[in-house]
Amino acid sequence: MEGVDYLADERNKAEFDVDEMKIVWAGSRHSFDVSDRISKLVANDPGFSKEGRTILPRKELFKNTLRKAAYAWKRISDLRLSAIKGQGTDEQQKKWLPLARKMQIIGCYAQTELGHGSNVQGLETTATFDPQTDEFVIHSPTLTSSKWWPGGLGKVSTHAVLYARLITDGKDYGVNGFIVQLRSLEDHKPLPGVTVGDIGMKFGNVAYNTMDNGVLTFDHVRIPRDQMLMRVSQVTKEGKYVQSDIPRQLLYGTMVYMRQTIVADASIAMSRAVCIATRYSAVRRQFGSQNGGQETQVIDYKTQQNRLFPLLASAYALRFVGEWLKWLYTDVTQRLQANEFSTLHEVHACTAGLKSLTTTATADGIEECRKLCGGHGYLCSSGLPELFAVYAPACTYEGDNVVLQLQVARFLMKTVSQLGSGKKPVGTITYMGRIEHLMQCRSYVKQAKDWLKPSAILEAFEARAARMAVACAQNLSKFDNPDEGFAELAADLVEAAIAHCQLIVVSKFIEKLQQNIAGKGVKQQLEVLCGVYSLFLLHKHQGDFLGTGYITSKQASLAKEQLRALYSQLRLNAVSLVDAFNYTDHYLDSILGRYDGNVYPKLYEAAWKDPLNESDVADGFHEYIRPIIKQQLQTARLISGFLSALEEDCRTTVWTYQKDVEDGALDSFQPDVQLKKKKKISFIRKRKDVFGPGSAAASATVLAFGSLFTALYKGSESHIDIHKAPNDPIIQSLIKKIEFLPFVPEIINAGKKFALQTIKGPFLCAQLRLLDGQFKNHQKAHFLGLKQKEEDDLVQETAKEVTDAGHGIIKLGSISQSSAGINNLHHPQLLTDVLLYIEEVVCSCASLGFVGTAESTFAESIELMRKHDICSG
């Protein structure tokens, strides 16, 4: 098995202690031991099997999720618990938290509405206090006030922390949280006045379709007053709104917790994708073989490295900034408990920006990893499509990423405006305290290796962030209306916010390297990863660094040179670096990312497990496809001569029929040798004279087929007088139904008036008359001879109507479009050709049963005739 050998060889190249790197990734020895033990237990437990998930119907998929509900419900409840702990009074926490922890109730977080997401203050659901009953009346006044998206809401949750507009004594006090029961604890049915359900299938095959994201509306549902979360504000029995002594800033704790969790999840999702792409890139070989040798591993191509290795470095960078955010959450919690709020604005901006930056980078990174795996990456069995579908919503929930960066930008603009006030920047904006130096300094890099110095990297990112923020502030000052200026410069402000957030990630990576890191070669590999992450960002955004004047074009080139050198160092250790994530095959759920590298046999094996392969012939084939094939084969045999080259012996292509056959079935085209056995052979003429370029019939092809195949008429026994046709309701009905097919550009371009008045009426009458006559003759098992048809007054009149219509026939380049040219078409021989052509077309279509069928394969024959110059149309 090729893949197994490849990955074993890759692991032998490692220049560091992989087990020690696993501990660095986990955060501590204890964290590693716990996660390793749990992941192995889950992988070996049949109850957590992922077999066949991607082919389950939604109902079965959701039922399977309920089977594993202990973990899923814990995650749902955590959201609700954090809201109650952050906003509920001590009494409310004592009542509700034990119920949630013991799973006696199942909660969800119901904030987002159909009409409002990021704009929380725009929420429309109302909670109106009724002092007579000491209750709040929860109501959904509009369609857009429907709660929409909360996870766990649709089918599982019994309660919700609901966010609604608090209205008392006729005054709206804005959005507040309420605990609302949604379903009966006896039979789990929705309570009166509550309408709740699932919002339907989401992006991806599995992904969030395992979650019952819900829709929820209320029709004047009453809840007790004490189910309003009252830690920050209360409503008395009399309906008076009272602000508590507890600062509203305490709510920031919940926000920081949520966002640090999202950033931590970003590193996990990114690392999963990178693990799959890295292992598969080492297994896959393409091109480059010489003298019959092995092809080149895809991971050895510089283009693959330039796309893959920055993502590998990003996984580690996001991991370390996530660790720092956990510390930040603990720090903020302690400060809040001590009523110390000096860092809250900075923390809010920092967490908002990092949530936006990391989720955007991860979603983009997962998709890039899918592309790095080529076509196989598109398979569900690669694990990447589902991973992307699961992660993509992170760019939207808990704050749209662009909106969050605009919040960061507002904070930066406020910081810049206060720089001269003596207020010292703190936390992640400490660098702004050195604004004068950062606005004037220049990079000291003189050779490529200078970019490996942390001081060179850090100052470059600080100078870039500071200068972009100051530039935005200066441009904003030019507007009389700050809000108007902010809206106008929004794109620039977002870029400045991103620069600030990237600085945070780079600085936290560098801080990680300053710690005591154990293990052979571990720190050295982290330094390489830090260099790749930083220099790739510098190269990607070199326009910012050059535009702000901090670096020169020469220094930018040196950065790119050093980045390439780091790729070479990273190449030897890439597979081992993703091994350090310590993901089991069960967790990765990817054939391409298998630890043993046994990719191709497992892909082949998985393909045959698909339900579509349970039978050799697919359901529906005999019902829908087989009739078409059968029809096409029959048609192909009958028109084979019709589509032959002009040089063929004309006598091999003549119409015959069998004598004494009552149904008058026509034979297929017959070779000349077989004609001797036939009787009553129809009129024979050299086909090149009838169908060849320059003939009237060639030009008539467009008209005949364009009209014939769309007439909803077959074998009528009724006599239609061509002179009375315009007033005949059947004819009028057929005229309305005629379509001019797209393969007939001449008819399409004829113009509406010309098409209706000149083409449809006369020729429809002609085809109906000939068809009707032909069927009558056919049923009597004989043909009218061509001489008889030429002498038939009605046929003659019909033919003249056809030729007088002018379309198609006058299109022929060799025939004048003047009235004289049209009169010449009445020449007996030319008229004979037209009649013969139409007769054969009508006859053949009638015998094949295609008259009136828009899907007729004769449409294809026209294109083939044109291709081989059999017809000049």
Could you give the residue numbers annotated as active site? 398
Q: Which residues contact 746 (CB under 8 A, 6 or more apart)?
A: 702, 706, 807, 808, 811, 873
For tokens 């829709």, the residue is 215
Distance CA 511, CA 521 (A): 18
The two three-digit tokens of residue 767, written as one number = 């085809």
The two three-digit tokens of residue 29, written as one number = 């020895």
Q: DSSP 3-state assignment of 398?
A: coil
The pair phi, psi for residue 326, each rounded to 5°, is -60, -45
Q: DSSP 3-state assignment of 165?
A: strand
By DSSP bridging, strand 159-168 and strand 126-130 are: parallel
**Contact between residue 54 and residue 206 where contact means Cβ atoms under 8 Å apart:** yes
**Contact between residue 16 and residue 576 where contact means Cβ atoms under 8 Å apart:** yes
| Dihedral angle computed from the Cα positions of residues 85, 91, 96 and 101, in that order, rounded to the nearest 10 degrees | 60
Distance CA 718, CA 721 (A): 10
Let me know how many helices (H) and strands (E) the chain has, helices first.
Answer: 34, 11
Q: Is the dihedral of CA 435, 436, 437, 441 positive or negative?
A: positive
Amino acid 772 reads D
In DSSP terms, 179 is beta-bridged to: 161
Q: What is 244-279 written as a DSSP string?
A: -SS-GGGGHHHHHHHHHHHHHHHHHHHHHHHHHHHH
Q: Is 154 exposed, middle or buried (0-12, 13-18, 19+ CB in 10 A)?
A: buried
Q: CA gyration radius for the chain? A: 39
- DSSP annotation of 784 reads P
**Contact between residue 156 and residue 212 where contact means Cβ atoms under 8 Å apart:** yes
In DSSP terms, 159 is beta-bridged to: 107, 181
Distance CA 608, CA 769 (A): 58
**Contact between residue 684 and residue 650 where contact means Cβ atoms under 8 Å apart:** yes
By DSSP bridging, strand 135-139 and strand 126-130 are: antiparallel
C-alpha angle 264/268/269, rounded to 5°?
115
Give which of 98, 261, 248 is closest to 174, Cα–Cα: 248
- DSSP annotation of 608 reads T
Give which of 162, 110, 107, 99 is closest to 136, Cα–Cα: 162
Helix axis angle, 252-283 relative to 384-391, nearest 10°? 160
| Dihedral angle computed from the Cα positions of residues 277, 278, 282 and 288, in that order, rounded to the nearest 10 degrees | 70
For tokens 């890295």, the residue is 278
722-751: b (≥16 Cβ within 10 Å) or e: beebeebeebeebbeebebbeebebbeebe
Distance of CA 106 to the CA centre of its chain: 32
The pair phi, psi for residue 722, each rounded to 5°, is -60, -30
Distance CA 298, CA 442 (A): 39
Q: Which residues contact 245 (CB under 8 A, 6 or more apart)?
A: none
Distance CA 432, CA 414 (A): 12
By DSSP bridging, strand 159-168 and strand 107-110 are: parallel
CB atoms within 10 A of CB 298: 23
